[in-house]
Structure 1
Amino acid sequence: MTPDWFAVVDATWPAARIETRGNLVLREGRGGGKRVSAASAMGPLSGAEIGAAEDAMRAMGQQPLFQLRPGNEDLDAELAERGYDIVDPVNIYAIAAERLTDIPIPRVTVFTLWEPLAIMRELWAQGGIGPGRLAVMDRTKGPKTGLLMRHRDKPGGVAFVAIHDSVAMLHALEIPPHQRRQGLGKWAMRGAAFWALDNGAQTLSVVCTKANEGANALYRSLGMEIVGEYHYRLLDEGRETT
């Protein structure tokens, strides 16, 4: 059975609050990023419903932002007419976790632990992953862990992994500039795969913006395949329109 990839994203990187109004899903992100702040549609939306969604997002202190999934083509066109810009097209990658456990991980290369250590929080902060996104990790239910990578006896990177419906999804992979090009991204994914299998997940997945060429190349090199796509439309209310 094919996983519901959007349900996996929502469960492993959850909004602070979700409200459903007919075919509309509203998310309150509280600084957790686009994934937890964007509205989405489960079916057709009228112009009045779009307007009400915009008002609701403004009331949350958020810019009007929609996540567009396959099947949302009419909404996509309507938002374009309203002046929304496309931002951050995203790939969803997945692979059978066992395919990444063929090579043993060198000792003291990847550690799995929760709660995060202070050094993990520091590494995330250096990469722009601040308190709002750490709060997302804290409120995630079900099996979850942090990954801490080491290289040459120094912290080499950090990531977060959580499981929903037998699928593990990795988020917030951050490797500091001086530790890049050492293969730590691959070891992070392999460490996540071992942890996933140990905790009942059969599939490892990740989301990645299409513009991140390095990350896309990493996931393809591991044999991961694109299993879904989406993009956002953002209304820039500071821009003059004609």
Structure 2
Amino acid sequence: MDLSQVERIERAGLLCWPGIEVEWDGSWVRRAAGGYTKRANSLQCFDPADEADAVTRLSAAAAWFERRGLPPVVRTTPLASAALNTALDGTGWATIDPSCLFAMPLATQEPDPEGRTFTTTDPAFLAAQQALQGHSDQVMAQMRALLAVMAVPAAGIVIERDGVAVASGLMAIADGIVITGNVITDPTRRRQGLGAAMMRTGLTWAKAQGAVMAALNVQADNAAGQALYHSLGYQRCYDYHYRVRR
């Protein structure tokens, strides 16, 4: 995948998983969302040529996160400048959570008969996410705060069996790309096709909203997740990881 497509997907990701506070420094963006997910609470570079004063700017970004009570985190994609990577290496930042971006053209899908689509702030969707993710009330408050600033078309997807939520996810659309997050299946009911049913239901909603491409993030060591997404037609397009201070 060429860098223009990487940038298109990553910029869609900024809108589909927004920060509550956002500050640009050239092509580097700092985002904070109360600590809910590394992606929404990290520094990211969007131009490989933006290399000036990398050590100074990295230090300033780290201080920006610390003033907000957040650990400094950098999301490193193929768009990161060589100077930023060198600054991270030279100042002792560790590499964690190697991950992959999967994407595909959005084809027609068959939704699950018991799939339900909610607004992202609907109590039924939030209750399903809390039950399946095992989130505390504090984490759910952080999630609700992030969802409150989401300004693109979005939906919460829930699959039910016998009236009980067994799989859930969140779909949001920007620039014709539907990005999926918060994918979760009841751990006692895995390998029953429930995650695939949730994905097909959400992608059907997205196609009806005009999305033409689908993308999502998955950790490199999540073999089951990668197999699921491959089965739906997604392909691994590029890798990324996070950097944290030791």
Is the structural similarity TM-score above 0.5? yes
1:122 is aligned to: 127
Question: For the structure 1 residues 134 and 180, does the alpha-carbon distance in structure 2 shift closer, same or farther, using more than 3 Å as the test?
Answer: farther
- Pairing partner for 1:74 from 59, 78, 83: 83
Contact 2:128–2:158 (8 Å) recurs in 1: no
The reply on whether 1:84 has 2:93 as its aligned counterpart is: yes
2:31 is aligned to: 27
State how far apart, in whole Å, the 2-side matches of 1:219 and 1:190 are. Answer: 11
- Pairing partner for 2:42 from 23, 38, 43: 38
Question: For the structure 1 residues 215 and 45, does the alpha-carbon distance in structure 2 shift closer, same or farther, using more than 3 Å as the test?
Answer: farther
- Pairing partner for 1:8 from 12, 28, 42: 12
Question: For the structure 1 residues 148 and 116, does the alpha-carbon distance in structure 2 shift closer, same or farther, using more than 3 Å as the test?
Answer: farther
Question: For the structure 1 residues 34 and 106, does the alpha-carbon distance in structure 2 shift closer, same or farther, using more than 3 Å as the test?
Answer: closer
The reply on whether 1:52 has 2:56 as its aligned counterpart is: no
Report deviation, 1:8.
1.3
Report deviation, 1:216.
1.2
Give percent identity, aligned residues only.
22
Count of aligned pairs between the two proteins = 232
RMSD: 2.0
1:240 is aligned to: none
Within 5 Å, give how 1:1-242 maps onto structure 2: 2=5, 4-41=8-45, 42=47, 43-46=50-53, 47-72=55-80, 73-98=82-107, 100-101=108-109, 104-108=110-114, 110-126=115-131, 127=133, 128=135, 130-236=140-246
State how far apart, in whole Å, the 2-side matches of 1:136 and 1:116 are. Answer: 10
Report deviation, 1:71.
4.3
State how far apart, in whole Å, the 2-side matches of 1:141 and 1:182 are. Answer: 34
Other structure's SS at 1:208 match = strand
* TM-score, length basis structure 2: 0.86
Contact 2:121–2:147 (8 Å) recurs in 1: no
* TM-score, length basis structure 1: 0.88
Other structure's SS at 2:170 match = strand
